[in-house]
Amino acid sequence: MNFEERLAQENNCCGCGACENICPTGALVLKPDHAGFLYPSIDEIKCIQCSRCINACAYKKKNEYISKEETYAAVSKNTDVKKSSSGGVFSSLAFNILKDGGTVYGCTMSRTDKEFDPHHIRISHPKDLSLLQGSKYVQSEIGLMYREVKKDLENNLTVLFSGTPCQIDGLYGYLGKDHPYLFTIDTICHGVPNKDLFNRYIRYEESSKKAKITNYVFRDKKDGWKLYGRMDLQDDSRKWSVYFEPEESSYYQLFLNRYTYRENCYACPYAIKNRSGDITMGDFWNIDLIHPELFSGKETGISCDNGVSVLVINSEKGQELMKRYGQDMELYPSEYNKVAQYNRQLIKPSEKPEDYEAFRRIMNNDYSEIEKWYQHKMMPIRAKRAIKRMIPAKQKEVIRRIRKR
Ligand X SMILES: Cc1cc2nc3c(=O)[nH]c(=O)nc-3n(C[C@H](O)[C@H](O)[C@H](O)COP(=O)(O)OP(=O)(O)OC[C@H]3O[C@@H](n4cnc5c(N)ncnc54)[C@H](O)[C@@H]3O)c2cc1C
Which residues from 139-158 bind ligand X, rule CB under 6 A? 140
Is 264 an interacting residue with respect to ligand X (CB under 6 A)? no
Local structure of residue 354 (DSSP, 8 states): T
Distance of closest approach, residue 368 Cβ to ligand X, in angstroms: 25
The stretch among 30-38, 244-252, 275-283, 363-371 that binds ligand X (CB under 6 A) is 275-283
Distance of closest approach, residue 304 Cβ to ligand X, in angstroms: 13
Binding-site string for ligand X from residue 341 to residue 380, where x marks contact by CB under 6 A and - marks none: --x-x-----------------------------------
- What is the CB neighbour count within 10 angstroms for residue 111? 16
- Whichever of 140 and 314 has its CB closer to ligand X, that residue is 140
- Whichever of 285 and 373 has its CB closer to ligand X, that residue is 285
- Whichever of 28 and 189 has its CB closer to ligand X, that residue is 189
Is the Cα dihedral 313, 103, 225, 253 positive or negative?
negative
Q: Which residues contact 95 (CB under 8 A, 6 or more apart)?
A: 78, 79, 126, 129, 328
- Whichever of 284 and 374 has its CB closer to ligand X, that residue is 284
Q: Which residues contact 177 (CB under 8 A, 6 or more apart)?
A: none
Is 88 an interacting residue with respect to ligand X (CB under 6 A)? yes
Pairwise CA distance, residues 74 & 80, whole Å: 14
- Whichever of 14 and 211 has its CB closer to ligand X, that residue is 14
329-346 core/surface letters (b: 16 or more CB in 10 A; e: else): bbbbebebeebbebbebb
The stretch among 26-34, 184-192, 270-278, 318-326 that binds ligand X (CB under 6 A) is 184-192
Is 137 an interacting residue with respect to ligand X (CB under 6 A)? yes
DSSP per-residue codes, 215-238: EEES---TTSSSS-EEEEEE-SS-
Distance of closest approach, residue 6 Cβ to ligand X, in angstroms: 25
Distance of closest approach, residue 269 Cβ to ligand X, in angstroms: 16
Task: With CB under 6 A as the rule, give the number of residues binding ligand X.
Answer: 33
Pairwise CA distance, residues 315 & 148, whole Å: 24
Pairwise CA distance, residues 199 & 117, whole Å: 9
- What is the CB neighbour count within 10 angstroms for residue 316? 10
- Whichever of 6 and 328 has its CB closer to ligand X, that residue is 328
Is 87 an interacting residue with respect to ligand X (CB under 6 A)? yes
Radius of gyration (Cα) for the chain, nearest Å? 21
- Length of the chain (residues): 405
The Cα angle at residue 148 between residues 132 and 94, in degrees rounded to 5: 35
Binding-site string for ligand X from residue 312 to residue 331, where x marks contact by CB under 6 A and - marks none: --------------------
Sheet holding 229-234, edge to edge: 212-217, 229-234, 239-244
Contact indicator for 284, 309 with CB cutoff of 8 Å: yes
Contact indicator for 261, 249 with CB cutoff of 8 Å: no
Q: Which residues contact 317 (CB under 8 A, 6 or more apart)?
A: 178, 182, 183, 278
Among 71, 96, 103, 162, binds ligand X (CB under 6 A): 162
Contact indicator for 174, 21 with CB cutoff of 8 Å: yes
Is 189 an interacting residue with respect to ligand X (CB under 6 A)? yes
- Whichever of 42 and 171 has its CB closer to ligand X, that residue is 171
Residue of closest CB approach to ligand X: 106
- Whichever of 40 and 163 has its CB closer to ligand X, that residue is 163
Which residues from 45-84 bind ligand X, rule CB under 6 A? 84
Is 138 an interacting residue with respect to ligand X (CB under 6 A)? yes
- Whichever of 195 and 200 has its CB closer to ligand X, that residue is 195
Is 221 an interacting residue with respect to ligand X (CB under 6 A)? no
Distance of closest approach, residue 64 Cβ to ligand X, in angstroms: 22
Is 306 an interacting residue with respect to ligand X (CB under 6 A)? no
Under the rule (CB under 6 A), what is the footprint of ligand X? 84-91, 106-107, 118, 132-138, 140, 162-164, 187-190, 192, 281-283, 309, 343, 345
